[in-house]
Amino acid sequence: MSVPVPPAEARAFARTLADDLPWTLLDALQRGDARRDDLSAATGQPVTIISRALEQLAALGIVTSRASDADPAHVYYQLRVDQIRTLSQQLLIALHPTLILAEPVPSAPLTLARRPRVLFLCTENSARSQLAEGLLRQISRGMVEAASAGTQPGTVHPLVVELLGDVGQDLRAKHVDRFQGQPFDYVVTVCDRARETCPSFPGAERQAHWSIPDPAAAEPEAQRRAFTRTVTELSQRIRSLLIFIEREQRAAAMEVTR
C-alpha cells in the first residue's frame, strides 16, 4: 500500500522546519510576541534574514503579525498554535493513520513545587491585564500568585467586572510603582504601549509580551464580542504559560536531585 502524499502546505511546513533558523524563531515566539529587531538580537541574525524566515512562516499560517498600538511602524509577530497543530497532524496522518494527534484533554491540576508569581502589565490596568490576572487565578486554581498593574492607571471597565465575577481580586486600577522592588517569576505586558513604555521590569526573572488588541477600543455595539475574544486569547496563552512554568519547575527539581 502506497503512503498518501500530505497536502502541499504540510510538505512546505516540513521543508521549512528542516532549517535551524525557523526552529529558533518558533522557540523564541512561543515565549512571547516579538518584533523583528527582538528576534534579530535573540538569534544573532541580520534583520533581513529574519524577515525572510518570518515571511516563510507567515505564508504557512504558522506566524501572524499585527502593528503595534503604540507605533504602527513596529510589528509584533506571534505564533498560531492551531495552524502548527493542523499541519503536524496532516504530516502524521500521511505517514500512518494511527499517528493522528489526540484531541486536547482537560488539563490536570498543576503540580508545582512552589507558588510562582506573575505580574501582568498594560497601560490603564482597566481591561486586558485585569482579565489576565483573574483568568490566571481561575485557571491555575490559585496555584499561581497573580497580580496586575498599569503604567497610567485608569478605571476598570464594567465588562471586566461582569466577566470575572468573584475571583478574589481587587478590581481597582493599580500603578506599576506599587510592585517595584518585588520579585516575579514572570512579568507579562499585554498591550504594546506598556511594552514600549516599560521594556524591562527590575525583579522579573523572565519577561514576555503578548500583543493583544484593546477590547475597550471597539465600538460600543461590538465591545462584548471584543471582550469575549480577548478572554479566549488570554485563556489560551495562560494555559501555555502554565505548561512552561510547570516544566521549568520540574527541570529545576531534577537539577537539584542530580
CATH number of the domain to which 34 belongs:
1.10.10.10
Q: Which of 99, 128, 157 is the last residue of a domain?
A: 99
> Same structural domain for residues 124 and 247?
yes
At CB < 8 A and 24+ separation, what contacts does 68-71 make?
A: 68/35, 68/192, 68/196, 68/211, 69/191, 69/192, 69/193, 69/213, 69/214, 70/192, 70/193, 70/195, 70/196, 70/197, 71/192, 71/196
Higher pLDDT, 254 or 15: 15
Task: Give me the chain's average pLDDT, please.
Answer: 88
- Catalytic residue of the set 50, 198, 231, 242: 198
> Same structural domain for residues 197 and 230?
yes
Q: Tell me the torsion sign for CA atoms 200, 206, 211, 213.
A: negative
Asked if the structure places residue 108 within a domain, the reply is no
> Same structural domain for residues 157 and 230?
yes
> Same structural domain for residues 215 and 149?
yes
CATH number of the domain to which 205 belongs:
3.40.50.2300
- Kindly report which listed range (27-36, 66-75, 92-101, 245-254) carries the lowest average pLDDT score: 92-101
- Kindly report which listed range (2-16, 126-140, 202-216) carries the lowest average pLDDT score: 2-16
| pTM, 2 dp | 0.86
> Same structural domain for residues 41 and 128?
no
The share of the chain scoring above pLDDT 70, in percent, equals 90
> Same structural domain for residues 142 and 243?
yes
- What total of structural domains would you count in the chain? 2
Q: Is 198 a catalytic residue?
A: yes
Asked if the structure places residue 79 within a domain, the reply is yes
Asked if the structure places residue 19 within a domain, the reply is yes
Q: How much is the pLDDT for 174?
A: 95
> Same structural domain for residues 125 and 76?
no
> Same structural domain for residues 145 and 232?
yes
| pLDDT (average), residues 66-93 | 90
CB within 8 Å of 180: residues ≥ 6 apart: 202, 203
Higher pLDDT, 130 or 6: 130
> Same structural domain for residues 58 and 122?
no
Asked if the structure places residue 42 within a domain, the reply is yes
Q: Which three cell numbers stand for residue 16?
A: 521549512
Higher pLDDT, 222 or 82: 222
Q: For 81-139, how does the pLDDT look when each residue is reduced to its tens digit (9 = 90+)? A: 889 888 888 888 877 666 665 555 445 566 677 789 999 999 999 999 999 999 999 99
Q: For 24-33, how does the pLDDT look when each residue is reduced to its tens digit (9 = 90+)? A: 999 999 989 9
- The CA-based angle 69-70-75, given to 5 degrees, is 65
Higher pLDDT, 250 or 98: 250
> Same structural domain for residues 81 and 164?
no
- Catalytic residue of the set 191, 212, 238, 242: 191
- Catalytic residue of the set 118, 122, 132, 226: 122
| Confidence bin at 247 (pLDDT 50/70/90) | confident
Q: Which domain holds residue 27?
A: 8-99
> Same structural domain for residues 71 and 128?
no
Q: How much is the pLDDT for 7?
A: 80
> Same structural domain for residues 57 and 162?
no
The two beta strands, 75-79 and 63-67, are: antiparallel
Asked if the structure places residue 3 within a domain, the reply is no
Asked if the structure places residue 105 within a domain, the reply is no
Q: Is 191 a catalytic residue?
A: yes
| pLDDT (average), residues 47-71 | 94
Asked if the structure places residue 112 within a domain, the reply is no
Q: Which of 99, 127, 146 is the last residue of a domain?
A: 99
Asked if the structure places residue 109 within a domain, the reply is no
Q: Which of 99, 130, 153 is the last residue of a domain?
A: 99
